[in-house]
Amino acid sequence: MNILVLGSGGREHTFAWKIAKSSHCENLFVAPGNSGTKSIATNLDISVTDFEAIKEAVLENNIDLVVVGPEDPLVQGVHDFFLEDQDLKNVAVIGPQKAAAELEGSKEFAKEFMMRHKIPTAAYQSFTKDNVEEGYKFLESLNAPYVLKADGLAAGKGVLILNDLEEAKTELKNMLVDAKFGDASTKVVIEEFLDGIELSCFVLTDGKDYKILPTAKDYKRIGEGDTGLNTGGMGAVSPVPFVTADFLSIIENQIVKPTVDGLQKDNLPYVGFIFIGLIKVGDYPKVIEYNVRMGDPETEVVLPRLKTDLVAIFKAMASGTLADIKIEIDERAATTIMLVSGGYPEAYEKGKEITGLEKVEDSIVFHAGANDTDGKVVTSGGRVMAVTSYGDTYQEAIKKSYQNIEKLHFDKMYYRKDIGFDL
Ligand code: AMP
Ligand code: GLY
Protein backbone atom coordinates (compact mmCIF):
# COMPACT_ATOMS: atom_id res chain seq x y z
CA MET A 1 0.00 0.00 0.00
CA ASN A 2 0.91 3.66 -0.28
CA ILE A 3 1.22 5.32 3.10
CA LEU A 4 1.32 8.94 4.27
CA VAL A 5 2.63 9.95 7.70
CA LEU A 6 1.60 13.42 8.93
CA GLY A 7 4.15 15.29 11.04
CA SER A 8 7.78 16.37 11.12
CA GLY A 9 9.36 15.30 14.39
CA GLY A 10 11.39 12.46 15.82
CA ARG A 11 8.15 10.55 16.32
CA GLU A 12 7.34 10.74 12.62
CA HIS A 13 10.88 9.76 11.55
CA THR A 14 10.51 6.72 13.81
CA PHE A 15 7.11 5.87 12.30
CA ALA A 16 8.59 6.18 8.81
CA TRP A 17 11.62 4.04 9.78
CA LYS A 18 9.36 1.28 11.09
CA ILE A 19 6.83 1.48 8.23
CA ALA A 20 9.62 1.39 5.62
CA LYS A 21 10.59 -2.07 6.92
CA SER A 22 7.14 -3.48 6.18
CA SER A 23 6.51 -5.69 3.16
CA HIS A 24 3.04 -4.09 2.95
CA CYS A 25 4.55 -0.67 2.21
CA GLU A 26 5.05 0.24 -1.45
CA ASN A 27 5.45 4.01 -1.42
CA LEU A 28 5.97 6.07 1.71
CA PHE A 29 5.31 9.80 2.03
CA VAL A 30 5.77 12.14 4.99
CA ALA A 31 4.19 15.60 5.23
CA PRO A 32 6.02 17.81 5.89
CA GLY A 33 8.78 15.51 7.23
CA ASN A 34 12.42 16.39 7.98
CA SER A 35 15.94 15.43 6.86
CA GLY A 36 15.56 12.01 8.45
CA THR A 37 12.32 11.10 6.70
CA LYS A 38 13.73 12.46 3.43
CA SER A 39 16.34 9.67 3.43
CA ILE A 40 13.70 6.91 3.53
CA ALA A 41 10.51 8.47 2.12
CA THR A 42 9.21 11.26 -0.08
CA ASN A 43 8.63 14.47 1.84
CA LEU A 44 5.62 16.56 0.81
CA ASP A 45 5.69 20.24 1.68
CA ILE A 46 2.24 20.36 3.30
CA SER A 47 1.15 21.55 6.73
CA VAL A 48 -0.48 18.88 8.94
CA THR A 49 -3.59 21.04 9.36
CA ASP A 50 -4.07 21.98 5.69
CA PHE A 51 -6.75 19.36 5.03
CA GLU A 52 -7.45 20.42 1.43
CA ALA A 53 -3.77 20.12 0.52
CA ILE A 54 -3.62 16.74 2.28
CA LYS A 55 -6.62 15.60 0.23
CA GLU A 56 -4.93 16.62 -3.00
CA ALA A 57 -1.74 14.75 -2.05
CA VAL A 58 -3.68 11.63 -1.02
CA LEU A 59 -5.52 11.50 -4.36
CA GLU A 60 -2.47 12.33 -6.44
CA ASN A 61 -0.31 9.65 -4.79
CA ASN A 62 -3.02 7.00 -4.39
CA ILE A 63 -2.56 6.87 -0.64
CA ASP A 64 -4.34 3.96 1.11
CA LEU A 65 -3.39 4.70 4.71
CA VAL A 66 -2.72 7.93 6.63
CA VAL A 67 -0.94 7.84 9.98
CA VAL A 68 -1.47 11.01 12.00
CA GLY A 69 1.52 11.89 14.23
CA PRO A 70 0.60 15.03 16.21
CA GLU A 71 -2.60 15.99 18.06
CA ASP A 72 -3.52 19.22 16.26
CA PRO A 73 -4.97 17.67 13.08
CA LEU A 74 -6.86 15.08 15.18
CA VAL A 75 -8.40 17.69 17.48
CA GLN A 76 -9.28 19.73 14.36
CA GLY A 77 -11.03 16.70 12.88
CA VAL A 78 -8.80 15.33 10.11
CA HIS A 79 -10.28 11.84 10.48
CA ASP A 80 -13.85 13.23 10.21
CA PHE A 81 -12.76 15.23 7.14
CA PHE A 82 -11.75 11.95 5.44
CA LEU A 83 -14.96 10.14 6.44
CA GLU A 84 -17.15 12.95 5.16
CA ASP A 85 -15.44 13.20 1.76
CA GLN A 86 -16.68 10.90 -1.04
CA ASP A 87 -13.18 10.60 -2.52
CA LEU A 88 -11.43 9.96 0.79
CA LYS A 89 -13.86 7.90 2.82
CA ASN A 90 -12.17 4.60 1.94
CA VAL A 91 -8.71 5.78 2.92
CA ALA A 92 -7.76 4.33 6.32
CA VAL A 93 -6.80 6.89 8.96
CA ILE A 94 -4.85 5.99 12.11
CA GLY A 95 -5.95 8.50 14.76
CA PRO A 96 -9.31 9.08 16.45
CA GLN A 97 -12.16 11.22 15.18
CA LYS A 98 -12.68 14.68 16.60
CA ALA A 99 -15.15 13.68 19.32
CA ALA A 100 -12.71 11.23 20.94
CA ALA A 101 -9.70 13.50 20.31
CA GLU A 102 -11.29 15.75 22.95
CA LEU A 103 -9.66 13.39 25.47
CA GLU A 104 -6.53 15.41 24.68
CA GLY A 105 -8.23 18.57 23.39
CA SER A 106 -10.08 19.31 26.63
CA LYS A 107 -8.82 18.50 30.13
CA GLU A 108 -12.38 18.84 31.47
CA PHE A 109 -13.73 16.38 28.89
CA ALA A 110 -11.00 13.90 29.92
CA LYS A 111 -11.79 14.35 33.63
CA GLU A 112 -15.53 13.85 33.05
CA PHE A 113 -14.77 10.74 30.99
CA MET A 114 -12.65 9.31 33.81
CA MET A 115 -15.30 10.10 36.43
CA ARG A 116 -18.03 8.48 34.32
CA HIS A 117 -16.02 5.30 33.85
CA LYS A 118 -14.49 5.19 37.35
CA ILE A 119 -10.91 5.51 36.12
CA PRO A 120 -8.54 6.56 38.93
CA THR A 121 -7.34 10.16 38.61
CA ALA A 122 -6.77 13.25 40.77
CA ALA A 123 -9.83 14.94 42.33
CA TYR A 124 -10.70 18.18 40.51
CA GLN A 125 -13.12 21.00 39.81
CA SER A 126 -13.31 23.26 36.79
CA PHE A 127 -13.92 26.98 36.62
CA THR A 128 -14.58 29.79 34.12
CA LYS A 129 -14.32 33.55 34.54
CA ASP A 130 -17.93 33.59 35.74
CA ASN A 131 -17.11 31.64 38.89
CA VAL A 132 -13.49 32.62 39.50
CA GLU A 133 -14.38 33.52 43.14
CA GLU A 134 -15.42 29.90 43.71
CA GLY A 135 -12.10 28.90 42.19
CA TYR A 136 -10.27 30.92 44.86
CA LYS A 137 -12.36 29.19 47.57
CA PHE A 138 -11.58 25.76 46.07
CA LEU A 139 -7.85 26.61 46.11
CA GLU A 140 -8.17 27.61 49.80
CA SER A 141 -9.67 24.20 50.54
CA LEU A 142 -6.64 22.39 49.06
CA ASN A 143 -3.11 21.93 50.35
CA ALA A 144 -0.06 23.11 48.38
CA PRO A 145 1.18 22.49 45.75
CA TYR A 146 -1.68 23.72 43.55
CA VAL A 147 -2.19 22.27 40.06
CA LEU A 148 -3.87 24.55 37.48
CA LYS A 149 -4.56 23.24 33.99
CA ALA A 150 -5.76 25.23 30.99
CA ASP A 151 -8.63 23.21 29.53
CA GLY A 152 -7.55 23.37 25.88
CA LEU A 153 -4.41 22.65 23.87
CA ALA A 154 -1.57 24.95 24.93
CA ALA A 155 1.45 23.29 23.28
CA GLY A 156 2.39 21.51 26.51
CA LYS A 157 2.63 24.78 28.47
CA GLY A 158 -0.87 24.92 29.97
CA VAL A 159 -0.16 23.19 33.30
CA LEU A 160 1.07 25.28 36.25
CA ILE A 161 2.16 23.78 39.58
CA LEU A 162 2.48 26.40 42.30
CA ASN A 163 3.54 26.24 45.93
CA ASP A 164 2.06 29.49 47.09
CA LEU A 165 -1.70 30.00 47.55
CA GLU A 166 -1.67 33.69 46.61
CA GLU A 167 0.39 32.97 43.51
CA ALA A 168 -2.06 30.19 42.57
CA LYS A 169 -4.98 32.66 42.87
CA THR A 170 -3.14 35.23 40.75
CA GLU A 171 -2.39 32.64 38.07
CA LEU A 172 -5.98 31.42 38.10
CA LYS A 173 -7.09 35.01 37.43
CA ASN A 174 -4.39 35.38 34.71
CA MET A 175 -5.67 32.28 32.98
CA LEU A 176 -9.43 32.89 33.28
CA VAL A 177 -9.76 36.65 33.21
CA ASP A 178 -6.64 37.74 31.29
CA ALA A 179 -6.59 34.78 28.85
CA LYS A 180 -2.98 33.83 29.67
CA PHE A 181 -3.22 30.86 27.28
CA GLY A 182 -5.76 32.48 24.93
CA ASP A 183 -8.89 30.44 24.28
CA ALA A 184 -7.24 27.38 25.83
CA SER A 185 -7.69 28.90 29.29
CA THR A 186 -11.30 30.10 29.13
CA LYS A 187 -11.84 27.11 31.37
CA VAL A 188 -9.36 25.90 34.02
CA VAL A 189 -9.23 22.56 35.78
CA ILE A 190 -7.86 22.73 39.35
CA GLU A 191 -6.58 19.37 40.55
CA GLU A 192 -5.40 17.64 43.65
CA PHE A 193 -1.59 17.32 43.53
CA LEU A 194 -0.39 13.73 43.17
CA ASP A 195 2.98 12.79 44.56
CA GLY A 196 4.70 9.88 42.84
CA ILE A 197 6.76 8.74 39.89
CA GLU A 198 5.48 9.20 36.33
CA LEU A 199 5.38 6.70 33.49
CA SER A 200 3.49 6.31 30.24
CA CYS A 201 1.45 3.45 28.88
CA PHE A 202 0.71 3.17 25.15
CA VAL A 203 -2.33 1.40 23.82
CA LEU A 204 -3.44 0.53 20.30
CA THR A 205 -7.14 0.16 19.68
CA ASP A 206 -9.61 -0.43 16.87
CA GLY A 207 -12.38 0.84 19.15
CA LYS A 208 -13.32 -2.63 20.46
CA ASP A 209 -10.13 -4.49 21.25
CA TYR A 210 -6.77 -3.21 22.38
CA LYS A 211 -3.10 -4.14 22.58
CA ILE A 212 -0.71 -2.70 25.13
CA LEU A 213 2.67 -1.55 23.82
CA PRO A 214 5.77 -1.34 26.02
CA THR A 215 5.75 1.27 28.79
CA ALA A 216 8.18 4.18 28.68
CA LYS A 217 9.39 6.97 30.90
CA ASP A 218 10.02 10.42 29.52
CA TYR A 219 12.26 13.13 31.00
CA LYS A 220 10.37 16.38 30.53
CA ARG A 221 12.50 19.00 32.27
CA ILE A 222 15.37 20.79 30.55
CA GLY A 223 17.80 20.50 33.47
CA GLU A 224 19.57 17.58 35.09
CA GLY A 225 17.90 16.12 38.18
CA ASP A 226 14.51 17.05 36.63
CA THR A 227 14.93 20.80 37.14
CA GLY A 228 14.08 23.89 35.11
CA LEU A 229 11.48 24.45 32.43
CA ASN A 230 9.28 21.80 30.87
CA THR A 231 10.17 20.67 27.35
CA GLY A 232 8.57 18.30 24.86
CA GLY A 233 10.83 15.59 26.32
CA MET A 234 14.62 15.25 26.69
CA GLY A 235 14.98 11.47 26.65
CA ALA A 236 13.14 8.24 27.28
CA VAL A 237 13.63 4.72 28.58
CA SER A 238 11.63 1.57 27.78
CA PRO A 239 10.64 -0.64 29.50
CA VAL A 240 10.14 1.20 32.81
CA PRO A 241 12.08 -0.93 35.32
CA PHE A 242 9.66 -0.43 38.22
CA VAL A 243 6.65 -1.66 36.22
CA THR A 244 6.29 -5.25 37.42
CA ALA A 245 3.85 -7.74 35.88
CA ASP A 246 1.51 -7.13 38.85
CA PHE A 247 1.60 -3.37 38.44
CA LEU A 248 1.00 -3.72 34.70
CA SER A 249 -2.04 -5.88 35.34
CA ILE A 250 -3.43 -3.21 37.71
CA ILE A 251 -2.89 -0.63 34.95
CA GLU A 252 -4.68 -2.87 32.47
CA ASN A 253 -7.65 -3.69 34.69
CA GLN A 254 -8.19 -0.32 36.35
CA ILE A 255 -7.26 1.97 33.48
CA VAL A 256 -6.80 0.46 30.00
CA LYS A 257 -9.89 -1.77 29.92
CA PRO A 258 -12.25 0.85 31.40
CA THR A 259 -10.87 3.41 28.94
CA VAL A 260 -11.51 1.29 25.84
CA ASP A 261 -14.89 0.11 27.20
CA GLY A 262 -15.73 3.73 28.05
CA LEU A 263 -15.06 4.84 24.49
CA GLN A 264 -17.50 2.22 23.27
CA LYS A 265 -20.17 3.04 25.87
CA ASP A 266 -19.89 6.74 25.02
CA ASN A 267 -20.10 6.02 21.29
CA LEU A 268 -16.71 7.49 20.54
CA PRO A 269 -15.19 5.65 17.56
CA TYR A 270 -11.46 5.28 18.07
CA VAL A 271 -8.89 3.79 15.69
CA GLY A 272 -5.49 4.87 16.92
CA PHE A 273 -3.02 5.19 19.74
CA ILE A 274 -3.99 6.10 23.29
CA PHE A 275 -1.10 7.52 25.28
CA ILE A 276 -1.94 7.34 28.97
CA GLY A 277 0.19 9.52 31.23
CA LEU A 278 0.28 7.85 34.64
CA ILE A 279 1.62 8.57 38.07
CA LYS A 280 2.35 5.79 40.53
CA VAL A 281 1.08 6.86 43.93
CA GLY A 282 2.05 4.23 46.49
CA ASP A 283 1.31 0.96 44.70
CA TYR A 284 -1.45 2.31 42.46
CA PRO A 285 -1.57 4.14 39.14
CA LYS A 286 -3.63 7.27 38.51
CA VAL A 287 -4.18 8.96 35.18
CA ILE A 288 -2.57 12.38 34.78
CA GLU A 289 -3.61 12.86 31.18
CA TYR A 290 -4.68 11.21 27.97
CA ASN A 291 -3.06 11.98 24.64
CA VAL A 292 -4.64 10.72 21.45
CA ARG A 293 -1.34 10.01 19.67
CA MET A 294 2.07 8.56 20.44
CA GLY A 295 4.54 10.48 22.60
CA ASP A 296 7.71 12.11 21.40
CA PRO A 297 10.41 10.97 22.35
CA GLU A 298 8.63 7.88 23.73
CA THR A 299 7.99 6.65 20.16
CA GLU A 300 11.75 6.58 19.62
CA VAL A 301 12.05 3.84 22.28
CA VAL A 302 8.69 2.07 21.95
CA LEU A 303 8.63 1.37 18.19
CA PRO A 304 12.21 0.08 18.03
CA ARG A 305 11.12 -2.59 20.54
CA LEU A 306 8.12 -3.64 18.47
CA LYS A 307 8.98 -6.72 16.39
CA THR A 308 5.58 -7.07 14.72
CA ASP A 309 5.03 -5.46 11.30
CA LEU A 310 3.51 -2.06 12.09
CA VAL A 311 1.61 -1.80 8.81
CA ALA A 312 -0.01 -5.19 9.46
CA ILE A 313 -1.12 -3.81 12.83
CA PHE A 314 -2.48 -0.63 11.22
CA LYS A 315 -4.41 -2.66 8.64
CA ALA A 316 -5.96 -4.73 11.43
CA MET A 317 -6.85 -1.60 13.40
CA ALA A 318 -8.52 -0.02 10.38
CA SER A 319 -10.54 -3.16 9.63
CA GLY A 320 -11.59 -3.82 13.23
CA THR A 321 -9.58 -7.05 13.53
CA LEU A 322 -6.91 -6.02 16.03
CA ALA A 323 -7.87 -9.00 18.21
CA ASP A 324 -6.31 -11.32 15.57
CA ILE A 325 -2.89 -9.67 15.76
CA LYS A 326 -0.10 -10.96 17.94
CA ILE A 327 2.22 -8.24 19.23
CA GLU A 328 5.84 -9.30 19.66
CA ILE A 329 8.23 -7.22 21.71
CA ASP A 330 12.02 -7.18 21.73
CA GLU A 331 13.26 -8.18 25.19
CA ARG A 332 16.06 -5.65 25.06
CA ALA A 333 15.79 -2.20 26.63
CA ALA A 334 15.79 0.87 24.41
CA THR A 335 16.74 4.38 25.42
CA THR A 336 16.89 7.68 23.61
CA ILE A 337 18.66 10.95 24.34
CA MET A 338 17.45 14.21 22.76
CA LEU A 339 19.98 16.67 21.40
CA VAL A 340 18.52 20.18 21.58
CA SER A 341 19.44 23.67 20.44
CA GLY A 342 21.07 25.81 23.16
CA GLY A 343 18.40 28.06 24.71
CA TYR A 344 15.50 25.64 24.12
CA PRO A 345 12.71 25.58 25.40
CA GLU A 346 13.09 29.37 25.26
CA ALA A 347 14.58 31.28 22.30
CA TYR A 348 17.25 29.46 20.27
CA GLU A 349 18.98 29.82 16.91
CA LYS A 350 18.38 27.63 13.87
CA GLY A 351 20.36 26.71 10.77
CA LYS A 352 23.39 25.19 12.55
CA GLU A 353 25.14 22.45 10.61
CA ILE A 354 25.05 18.99 12.20
CA THR A 355 28.20 16.91 11.71
CA GLY A 356 29.37 13.43 12.61
CA LEU A 357 26.20 11.57 11.61
CA GLU A 358 28.17 9.12 9.45
CA LYS A 359 30.35 8.11 12.42
CA VAL A 360 27.47 6.81 14.56
CA GLU A 361 27.68 3.06 15.14
CA ASP A 362 25.18 0.79 16.81
CA SER A 363 22.68 3.57 17.60
CA ILE A 364 19.83 4.96 15.50
CA VAL A 365 19.63 8.71 15.03
CA PHE A 366 16.05 9.87 14.58
CA HIS A 367 15.88 13.39 13.17
CA ALA A 368 13.45 15.86 14.76
CA GLY A 369 14.06 19.60 14.21
CA ALA A 370 16.54 18.99 11.39
CA ASN A 371 16.42 19.74 7.69
CA ASP A 372 18.38 19.16 4.59
CA THR A 373 19.76 22.28 2.88
CA ASP A 374 22.27 22.15 0.00
CA GLY A 375 23.35 18.64 0.97
CA LYS A 376 23.95 19.64 4.60
CA VAL A 377 21.83 18.65 7.58
CA VAL A 378 21.03 21.74 9.66
CA THR A 379 19.01 22.43 12.80
CA SER A 380 15.48 23.72 12.27
CA GLY A 381 13.90 23.32 15.70
CA GLY A 382 14.48 23.16 19.44
CA ARG A 383 14.60 19.39 19.73
CA VAL A 384 17.01 18.40 16.95
CA MET A 385 17.76 14.66 17.07
CA ALA A 386 17.05 11.64 19.25
CA VAL A 387 19.85 9.08 19.61
CA THR A 388 18.32 5.66 20.33
CA SER A 389 20.18 2.52 21.41
CA TYR A 390 19.36 -0.99 22.51
CA GLY A 391 20.96 -2.80 25.43
CA ASP A 392 20.49 -5.85 27.60
CA THR A 393 19.91 -3.33 30.37
CA TYR A 394 18.79 0.29 30.10
CA GLN A 395 22.15 1.35 31.57
CA GLU A 396 23.98 -0.36 28.71
CA ALA A 397 21.66 1.26 26.15
CA ILE A 398 22.14 4.71 27.67
CA LYS A 399 25.93 4.28 27.63
CA LYS A 400 25.84 3.44 23.93
CA SER A 401 23.78 6.55 23.12
CA TYR A 402 26.18 8.79 25.08
CA GLN A 403 29.20 7.25 23.31
CA ASN A 404 27.68 8.04 19.92
CA ILE A 405 26.62 11.54 20.96
CA GLU A 406 30.35 12.30 21.49
CA LYS A 407 30.71 12.01 17.71
CA LEU A 408 27.89 14.43 16.89
CA HIS A 409 28.22 18.17 16.82
CA PHE A 410 26.33 21.38 16.16
CA ASP A 411 26.86 24.86 17.56
CA LYS A 412 25.32 25.19 21.06
CA MET A 413 24.22 21.54 21.17
CA TYR A 414 22.80 20.60 24.59
CA TYR A 415 21.55 17.34 26.09
CA ARG A 416 20.87 15.93 29.52
CA LYS A 417 23.62 13.65 30.79
CA ASP A 418 21.46 12.01 33.45
CA ILE A 419 18.67 10.23 31.55
CA GLY A 420 17.55 7.26 33.67
CA PHE A 421 19.04 8.77 36.85
CA ASP A 422 15.95 8.10 38.98
CA LEU A 423 15.28 4.49 38.02
P1 AMP B 1 -0.26 17.24 31.74
O2 AMP B 1 -0.12 18.22 30.60
O3 AMP B 1 -1.63 17.09 32.26
O4 AMP B 1 0.45 15.96 31.46
O5 AMP B 1 0.63 17.85 32.92
C6 AMP B 1 1.98 18.17 32.72
C7 AMP B 1 2.82 17.69 33.87
O8 AMP B 1 2.36 18.29 35.08
C9 AMP B 1 2.71 16.20 34.12
O10 AMP B 1 3.58 15.47 33.34
C11 AMP B 1 3.06 16.11 35.60
O12 AMP B 1 4.45 16.15 35.78
C13 AMP B 1 2.47 17.36 36.15
N14 AMP B 1 1.13 17.13 36.72
C15 AMP B 1 -0.04 17.21 36.07
N16 AMP B 1 -1.08 16.93 36.88
C17 AMP B 1 -0.55 16.67 38.10
C18 AMP B 1 -1.11 16.32 39.37
N19 AMP B 1 -2.43 16.22 39.55
N20 AMP B 1 -0.26 16.11 40.38
C21 AMP B 1 1.08 16.23 40.21
N22 AMP B 1 1.67 16.56 39.05
C23 AMP B 1 0.87 16.79 37.99
N1 GLY C 1 6.76 13.37 25.51
C2 GLY C 1 5.49 13.84 25.88
C3 GLY C 1 4.54 14.01 24.76
O4 GLY C 1 4.74 13.56 23.65
O5 GLY C 1 3.51 14.63 25.00
- Residues in CB range of 324: below 8 A, 6 or more apart: 316
Cis peptide preceding 269, ω within 30 of 0: no
Q: Which residue, among 392, 336, 383, has the nearest Cα to 364 in the 3D structure?
A: 336
Pocket test for ligand 2, best of 202, 240, 291 (most atoms within 8 A of CB): 291
pLDDT at res. 155: 78
Nearest ligand 1 atom to alpha carbon 193: 20
CA–CA dist 293, 306 (Å, integer): 17
| Atom of ligand 2 at shortest range from CA of 233 | 1
Distance from the alpha carbon of residue 173 to the mean position of ligand 1, in angstroms:
20
* Cα separation, 212 vs 199, whole angstroms: 14
258 alpha carbon – ligand 2 mean position (Å): 23
- HSE-CB for 345 with a 13 A CA cutoff: 16
Q: Which ligand does the CA of 221 lie closest to?
A: 1
Q: What pLDDT is recorded for position 177?
A: 84
* CA 122 to centroid of ligand 1, rounded, Å: 10
Largest CA distance in the chain: 60
- The fold for domain 2-95 equals Rossmann fold (3.40.50)
Nearest atom in ligand 1 to 191's CA:
19
Judged by its nearest atom, the ligand closest to the C-alpha of residue 275 is 2
Distance 369 CA to ligand 2 centre (A): 15
Please report which ligand is nearest the Cα atom of 153: 1
The pLDDT, as a whole number, for residue 154 is 84
**Which of 153, 296, 299, 300 is the pocket-test mutation for ligand 2 (most atoms within 8 Å of CB)?**
296
* pLDDT value at residue 186: 85
274-311 per-position pLDDT tens digit: 999 999 999 999 999 999 999 999 999 999 999 999 99
**Ligand 2 atom nearest to 298, measured from its CA:** 1
Residues of the chain under the 70 pLDDT cut:
none
Ligand in nearest proximity to the CA of 226: 1
Interior angle at CA 179, CA 176 and CA 185, nearest 5: 60
Q: How far is the CA of 395 from the centre of ligand 1 (A)?
A: 27
Fold (topology level) of 125-191: Dna Ligase; domain 1 (3.30.1490)
197-405: CATH topology is D-amino Acid Aminotransferase; Chain A, domain 1 (3.30.470)
* Confidence (pLDDT) at 406: 97
Ligand 2-lining residues (CB < 6 angstroms): 218, 232-233, 291, 295-296, 298
Determine how β-strand 210-218 pairs with β-strand 235-238.
Answer: antiparallel
Report the alpha-carbon distance of residue 189 to residue 106 in Å, rounded.
10
Distance in Å, CA 382 to ligand 2 centroid: 14
State in Å: Cα 70 to ligand 2 middle: 10
Residue 385 φ/ψ, nearest 5 degrees: -150, 150
Q: Which atom of ligand 2 is nearest to the CA of 218?
A: 1
Residue 332 CA to residue 347 CA, distance in Å, equals: 37
As for ligand 1, residues whose beta carbon falls within 6 Å of it are: 122, 147, 149, 159, 161, 191, 193-194, 198, 220, 277, 288-289
- What's the CA-to-centroid distance between 301 and ligand 1, angstroms? 22
Q: Whose CA is nearest to atom 7 of ligand 1?
A: 159
Domains 2-95 and 125-191 share a fold: no
| Other C-beta atoms lying within 10 Å of the C-beta of residue 319 | 12
Mutation test residue for ligand 1: of 279, 280, 296, the one with most atoms within 8 Å of CB: 279
Q: What is the position in ligand 1's atom list of the atom closest to the CA of 194?
A: 20
Locate the domains of the chain by residue range.
2-95, 125-191, 197-405
